[in-house]
Structures are given as C-alpha cells and as structure tokens.
C-alpha cells in the first residue's frame, strides 16, 4: 500500500510525483454490510409477497410451514370436502371487503384419481367478490381430489404505486371462474365420414337428420351479427349468454361440442363454442349495450333462417333511463360463403359473393336494414324479395311529404326516416329496384316503341313482374300485347308484394291491373321455345326481351332462336333487349371476356338477313352500381329516322302517342326527347371494344381526325392567310343563259389526306326529310292573305344544289354546306377530282348494320373532305359527282 503525504508537494529527487496523504471524506460503508442489507430486504419482500400476495398455495405452503406461519383455513388441501365447506363459511376480510355478484361457474380444476378433468354440462353459480375472488365454491358432492383456490388479491388503494386494480384499468383481465361446458346430447348419430352428404334422412323416432357438410368440399358459411341496445345485465351474465348460445346452435340444427366463457373486468363476457361444424363466438360491451357474434359452419344447412332466432335470443332490449321504455334493438349482419367452391357451385348458389343478392343485401354490413319479404324456390327458379336501407340513405321527396318535413328538419339527414328500397331477385340476380324501376323500364321499352312509326302488336319475353307490360300499354296505338313468361309464380308474387309494377290505374283506357287489360294476353311457357316451335312469322311490330342478361341464357348464342325472334317481327319491326352492364374501355376483346355471350348475340343479329340496323345505348339512372346496356335491332333501316330524331320530334311523339293520365301526372318520368338524343351515340367504351375485333373493322381507322394531317382553311376576310382563292366565273347554259359562278383554287401545295376547309364544312347545317317535305311545294297556299314565299323557294333550290343525304341510310337527314366549300366545282370525271370524303366508302358498300364507330362519328363522316391526291398551288379544287353517293 502506498501512503501519500499531502504536505510534501515538492518535486522528488527520483523524478516521481510527491506523496499525498489519503484522508476519507464523508461517510464510509462497508461493502459487506451493504450486500447483507440488500439480501435481507429481498428476503423480507419475498416473504411478505408470499404471505400477502396472490400466490398458488402449492408453492407457498412449504415456505409458510418452514417459517412456522399458521396456514389460513383456505389453504387446507388435504381434505377437499372440508375445504369446500370452509370456503362457503369463510369470513375473510379481503373477501367480504366489497359487494359480491353472482356469476355462472363452470368446472374447477379438479384432480381425480384418473388424472382426467371432469366437466359439467350445466353451469353452476358461485359468488365473486368485487375484486374477482371466489366467495362460495362447489358443493361437497362435486369435490374430489386437490382443489386449487386463489388467495385474496390485494386491497385496492389510491396510491399511484399500487398495482392491483390499476392494472385492470389498462388491461382487460378475466375474473374467475371460467364458465365451461358441453353441448346437449343430440337425439341422432352424426355421420362425419369423408364424402358424406346427408339430405334430411329420417332417423329412428321420426327425427330428421340435418344437412351435413361434404367434408371433401372445403367450404362453409360465415355469419356476422352486431346487436345494439341490449340489456347490460344480460350482456354481463355468462350463464344467460351461454344458454342463448346453446339455444341458437340447437335452433340452427348444429352440434355443440363444448364452450368456454370468460367474464371480463370491469364488465363484459367473451365466449367461444366449438361446433361439430366449426365454431360460434361473441364478445359483449354491457355499458354500451352491444354484442358482436361470429358463427362459422361447414354445414350445408342455410344460416340465414337462423337470424331471427339469434336476434330473439341475444336481442334482450335495455330500458331507456329517460323514458322508461324498451329501446329498439338494432341488428346489423353479414353473410358470406367461405372456402373454395367449384365455379358451377358458385353460380348455382344465389348467396355466392358474385351474385347480386349477396352484394346488395346479405354481405354488406353497410345495409343497416334488411328484411326478407319472400324467399321461395319455384319449379324454374328461386325468387327473393328484400327490403333494404343503406347507412347513407336519406329521405326521398315522397318521404318528406309523408313525414311533413320542413327544409331545416334534421330528419332529412337521418337514414331512419328513409323508406327502404324493395329489391326483386331471380336466382340471385337483381331484376327490379323499386325506387328506380320506372327509369329502367322506360329505358328498355320506350326507345324501341318510338323507333317504330305506329306499333300495334307487341310481344314481351319475360317481364312477369308487369312493369314492361305497363310501359307498353301506355301507347294508344297498341292493340294487342302478348306476354310469354316462364314462371307463373313470378306474376303471382309480383302482384302481391310489388303491386305498383303492374298498376295501370293511371293509364287512360286501361284496367286497374295491367294483366287485366283487354289488350294483354299472358302465356305461361318457355318464350324462346314457344316462338321457335310456333314458327311465328311477321306478327309483332315490337318485340321486347325482358329476360336475364345474355350471359345467363344460352338461347342468345343459338342462331335458330335469334332467327325465330327476327322472323316474328313485321317488315318494319323492332326488337329491344337488355344486355347487361356497360363495358369499360379496359375490357378485353368482347368474344374473349366475361361478356362473350353478349358478343355472340350481336354477331347473330349482324349475320341475320332480317336485321338491317343495330343500335346500342346505356342508361345510368336505373339504380344499379353501373350503367345498364340495351340493344335495339330493326328489320328496316327506316327505323334510323326515328332513332336519330331530334329532341322536339320525340317530345311531340310522346305527347301524341301516349297522351296524359287520369291523375294529371306526367305519363313518363324519365324518357323524353332529350333522353332519346343521349341514346344516339353509345359511349366510347363500346367503340373501343368493337375495334378490338379481329380483323379490325374498316371504320376503326377513322375514330378521330388524323393529327398528323394539316388543315387548309379558307378565310374570306384574310385572303393572305387563306390556303384557297375563289375566282368569279361566267357560264352559259344550254339555253344560252349566262350565269355567274365561282371556282376554288389552291394557293399552296396541299398533300394527300389533308383536310379541306374543315371549319366551313363543320358549319354545315342539318335538315330532315320531313322538314324538306313540309316546306316543299306551296307551304303558304292554305294561308289567307299570304302570297307565294319566294324566299322559301330559293331556300329549297339552294338545298337541292348544295345539300346531300346522310351516309346513314334511312336516317332521313341531309347536310347542306354553307361556307366556301359549296362553290367547289363538281365533275363527273373521276380523274379530274382531287378531293374525297374523309371516310372512304366501306368495302362492303354502305355502313355496317352494327358499328359504334359510325354511330359516334356519323356527323363528321357526313361533312369532312380531304385531298384525294397531292394538289399543287394554282390547281383548281374539284369534287367528284359521286362524292356523297353510298
């Protein structure tokens, strides 16, 4: 050891530092004493924890005995029966310190001679102190072997360092005991062998074996149920909840194997039941009055019929403390088919996730109100009718009138005051949406009816709900309507549960119910087979196919059926078909995608010699998530005149051919001239899909002006910037009369394909054949005091000289040039001509029967001109005489 002398701070002769004396400062602690204190403290803390804390008696008994601490009566483990009695009469301060509650008790952990666990099928009651400890346990005859009982927990305090209940305030902890049990015995044997598919086989005693799953089919059903405004006491009672769970399982024809429930702190219960078919589970929030339930089963037995029973068993209403009345139970639910099914099985099941019934009603939890009105299987199909209301629905105008809502009434924003929508399904496919059915049926029926000049005989395929018939009977010209419906039950169910669909009360001259109208003839038969077998010929002016989508009907791909439908039309007949949802510009080629049958239907109509014109249109106001698509096919091209009619023409036809109603309300709520005008050109997606055909149709190369080509314009007020020059001429007729004229010359070189005076040509005006007929002859002859209208004659002469008919044969439209282009000379020498129409003559002659390209660009095709060859500066511009010939 080195001692340092602090007084000797000078340098040393040997070069080392001076010595400094070490004097301790402050208190000194011997390390050995420190370690002894720490060890003793830890030992005392451990002993205190053993004596006071919640420790397993099996662990602490030897220690307490070693420390000669007397054992509490609760820890006597050698005589279980005596111990159980002691538990019942214990007066422990910790146990009785707080109010106790009764809960259901399941099986305690009882070690029997065989080492097994005894479970009870019926829950018993014990008393639980406020901190979750057992006050009274099992009865004498239920105890065998060693019983483990928890010690009393620490008394809760307000000290921040205390754990106790502070932990429970942050975490969800379970109370004891755990409620467990097994399901009731079933009165029949379960066959759970592989490939088992039972179908309600009758067992002994007249009992019926419920449907079981085919265990080789990995699929099932999943039902989620959320219920609100439930009684708190019910949601906090393991025994009542367990009883409701077992009853619901029994009601569903399922088999409970076992269940396990936990009471949660400060409130709530979680339970799970193991089923032979899978499981059922739920969790409760007593204070909020909410329970969420989950039921999954691999049984083939439908789960939807179980819903009312689940709502009855678990929907125990709570009392509103302000009114003293029971609150209304609110239940949300969702049903899904799970697992892996074959495509055929998926299509056959109306509750499959790809069906409308699943997507609109049974699957989404956002549909806050769901009520099944009808569910029945007929000889031909399944019929479902539901009332539904979504979370974001608000009152309609009619709802507001019924409720007397004022503009600032908050009920306008509440879905509780919105009337539900009634939905009609066939085989899971949505057929009718009550709030939008008029828009849909007017869009299906009226365009075809007005495409015919005066329909007298009409046929309807399908449409058993009656709405299509109703729209047809509005037309005063109709003398006979033949409806061919496959399923008589559709008619009956619709009359009973959706009577407004066949309500003709407001139609002048009709019966109260459309089916009772003298003009209506209902035939129950397979319509496609009926028409083909009967070989109906030229009988119907209008034929409306109100069947399911083409993808659901192989008949649309059968050329014999299509020809039979076409042959049933009169020479000017029109056929209308609903053809599913509208396509997207991202869709694949039509014959390769999911709408393959629709494309085959169009192909069959195109190849039919009895069809001259086909038109596609969409309507986005039918209530569906996507626009609905429709098709109109005409036997004669003259229907184009009515199809392309202007807004005022259609409005007049509606007034003239339909007229008014008994109530004075408008006959049509959606269709009018403006609506028909929107049907003239199909959306671009149809054009895009059409041009994916192989080989690509000729006109697809002309879907828009070529941006690589130049525009050569004529500017009368700025000749320096003009590409053309108009020179005055004089010509002598065969009669020797000299007439003034003009010719057009190019001032610059114009390459082949360049656009000639596009601005002037785009200004061409359109005049119909009907207008020409009205102003021809002597339009003022019948007017007193009015002389001959020279200006009208001049106008007609001008149209004859500079107008031309539309390339859309049968449209009844004419285009008249009004700009500099009308003075371009016309020559019958094709070699002299140097301009042509923008779109050349189609290789097959006129425009195709079906072409979204022609429908969308018909006006452009009727006016624009391009250079047919290179034109040199100073060369005259000449049109061919056959420029606008088809």
Q: Which of 356, 546, 855, 862 is catalytic?
A: 546
SS3 451: helix
149 Rama class: left (phi>0) / alpha (psi -120 to 50) / beta: beta
Residue 777 neighbours by CB under 8 Å, 6+ apart: none
Q: How far apart are CA 127 and CA 184, in angstroms?
A: 26
Q: How far apart are CA 220 and CA 337, in angstroms?
A: 6
DSSP β-ladder status, 480-485 and 520-524: parallel
* 51 in Cβ contact with 63 (< 8 Å): no
Phi and psi, residue 297, nearest 5° = -145, 145
* 762 in Cβ contact with 755 (< 8 Å): no
Max Cα-Cα span within the chain: 151
Active site residue 706: no
SS3 597: helix
Choose among 90, 81, 88, 73: nearest CA to 146: 81
Q: How far apart are CA 787 and CA 781, in angstroms?
A: 8
Q: How far apart are CA 540 and CA 567, in angstroms?
A: 9
Phi and psi, residue 577, nearest 5° = -140, 135
In SS3 terms, 136-168 reads as: ECCCHHHCCCCECCCCCCCCCCCCCCCCHHHHH
Which own/partner contact pairs does 660-668 have at CB distance under 8 Å and 24+ positions apart?
660/508, 661/506, 661/507, 661/508, 662/505, 662/506, 662/507, 662/508, 663/506, 665/506, 667/474, 667/507, 668/442, 668/446, 668/474
| CA-based radius of gyration for the chain | 44
Residues comprising the chain, all counted: 886
Residue 335 neighbours by CB under 8 Å, 6+ apart: 221, 222, 223, 224, 303, 304, 351, 358, 362, 363
Choose among 466, 424, 475: nearest CA to 447: 475
Q: How far apart are CA 167 and CA 149, in angstroms?
A: 21
Task: Give catalytic residues, as residue numbers.
Answer: 546
């Amino acid at each position: 050891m080195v001692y340092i002398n602090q007084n000797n701070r000078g340098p040393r002769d040997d070069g080392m530092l001076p010595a400094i004396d070490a004097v301790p400062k402050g208190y000194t602690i011997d390390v050995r004493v420190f370690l002894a204190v720490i060890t003793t403290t830890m030992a005392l803390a451990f002993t205190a924890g053993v004596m006071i804390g919640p420790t397993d008696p099996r662990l602490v008994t030897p220690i307490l005995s070693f420390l000669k601490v007397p054992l509490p009566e609760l820890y006597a483990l050698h005589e279980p029966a005596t111990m159980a009695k002691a538990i019942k009469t214990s007066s422990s301060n910790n146990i009785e310190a707080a109010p106790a509650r009764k809960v259901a008790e399941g099986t305690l952990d009882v070690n029997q001679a065989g080492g097994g666990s005894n479970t009870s099928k019926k829950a018993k009651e014990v008393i639980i102190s406020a901190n979750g400890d057992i006050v009274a346990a099992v009865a004498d005859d239920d105890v065998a072997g060693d019983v483990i009982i928890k010690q009393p927990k620490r008394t809760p305090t307000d000290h921040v360092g205390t754990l106790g209940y502070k932990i429970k305030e942050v975490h969800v902890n379970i109370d004891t005991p755990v409620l467990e049990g097994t399901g009731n015995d079933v009165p029949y044997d379960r066959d759970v062998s592989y490939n088992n598919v039972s179908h309600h086989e009758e067992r002994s005693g007249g009992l019926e074996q419920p449907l079981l799953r085919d265990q080789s089919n990995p699929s099932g059903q999943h039902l989620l149920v959320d219920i609100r405004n439930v009684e708190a006491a019910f949601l906090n009672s393991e025994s009542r909840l367990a009883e409701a769970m077992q009853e619901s399982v029994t009601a569903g024809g399922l088999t409970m194997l076992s269940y396990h429930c936990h009471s949660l702190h400060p409130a709530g219960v979680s339970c799970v039941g193991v089923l032979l078919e899978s499981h059922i589970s739920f969790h409760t929030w007593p204070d909020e009055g909410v329970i969420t339930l989950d039921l999954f089963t691999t049984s083939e037995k439908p789960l939807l019929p179980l819903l009312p029973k689940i709502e009855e068993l678990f929907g125990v209403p709570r009392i509103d403390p302000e009114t003293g009345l029971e609150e209304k139970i609110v239940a949300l639910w969702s049903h899904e088919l799970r697992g892996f099914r074959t495509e055929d099985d998926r299509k056959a099941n109306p509750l499959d996730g790809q069906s409308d019934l699943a997507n609109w009603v049974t699957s989404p939890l956002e549909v806050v109100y769901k009520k099944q009105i009808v569910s029945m299987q007929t000889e031909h199909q399944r019929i479902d009718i539901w009332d539904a209301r979504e979370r974001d629905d608000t009152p309609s105008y009619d709802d507001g009138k019924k409720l007397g809502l004022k503009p600032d009434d908050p009920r306008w924003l509440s879905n509780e005051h919105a009337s539900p929508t009634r939905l009609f399904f066939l085989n899971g496919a949505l057929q009718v949406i009550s709030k939008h059915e008029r828009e849909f049926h007017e869009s299906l029926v009226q365009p075809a009816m007005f495409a015919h000049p005066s329909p007298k005989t009409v046929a309807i395929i399908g449409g058993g709900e009656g709405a299509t018939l109703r729209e047809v009977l509005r037309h005063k010209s109709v003398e006979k309507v033949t409806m061919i419906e496959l399923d008589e039950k559709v008619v009956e169910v619709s009359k009973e549960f959706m009577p407004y669909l066949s309500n003709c009360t407001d139609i002048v001259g009709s019966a109260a119910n459309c089916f009772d109208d003298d003009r209506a003839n209902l035939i129950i038969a397979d319509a496609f087979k009926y028409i083909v077998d009967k070989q109906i010929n030229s009988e119907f002016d209008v034929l409306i196919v109100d069947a399911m989508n083409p993808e659901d009907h192989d008949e649309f791909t059968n050329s014999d059926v299509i020809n039979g439908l076409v042959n049933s039309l009169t020479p000017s007949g029109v056929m209308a078909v609903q053809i599913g949802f509208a396509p997207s510009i991202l869709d694949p080629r039509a014959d390769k995608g999911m709408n393959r049958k629709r494309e085959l239907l169009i192909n069959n109509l195109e190849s039919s010699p009895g069809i001259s014109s086909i038109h596609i249109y969409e309507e986005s106001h039918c209530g569906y998530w996507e626009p609905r698509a429709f098709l109109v096919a005409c036997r004669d091209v003259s229907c184009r005149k009515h199809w392309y009619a202007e807004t005022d023409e259609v409005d007049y036809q509606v007034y003239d051919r339909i007229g008014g109603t008994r109530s004075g309300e408008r006959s049509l709520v959606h269709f009018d001239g403006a609506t028909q005008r929107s049907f003239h050109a199909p959306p671009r997606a149809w054009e895009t899909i059409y041009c994916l055909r192989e080989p690509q149709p000729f006109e697809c190369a002309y879907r828009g002006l070529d941006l690589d080509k130049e525009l050569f314009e004529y500017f009368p007020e700025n000749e320096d910037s003009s590409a053309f020059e108009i020179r005055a001429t004089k010509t002598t007729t065969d009669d020797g009369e000299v007439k003034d004229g003009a010719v057009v010359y190019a001032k610059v070189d114009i390459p082949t394909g360049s656009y000639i005076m596009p601005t002037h040509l785009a200004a061409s005006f359109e005049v119909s054949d009907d207008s020409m007929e009205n102003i021809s002859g002597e339009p003022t002859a019948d007017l007193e005091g009015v002389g001959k209208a020279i200006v009208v004659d001049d106008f007609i002469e001008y149209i004859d000289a500079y107008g031309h008919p539309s390339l859309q044969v049968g449209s009844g439209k004419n285009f008249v040039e009004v700009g500099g282009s009308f003075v371009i000379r016309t020559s019958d020498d094709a070699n002299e001509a140097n301009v042509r129409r923008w779109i050349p003559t189609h290789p097959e002659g006129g425009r195709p029967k079906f072409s979204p390209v022609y429908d969308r660009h018909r006006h452009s095709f009727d006016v624009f001109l391009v250079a047919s060859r290179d034109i040199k500066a100073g060369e005259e511009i000449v049109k061919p005489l056959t420029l606008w010939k088809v």
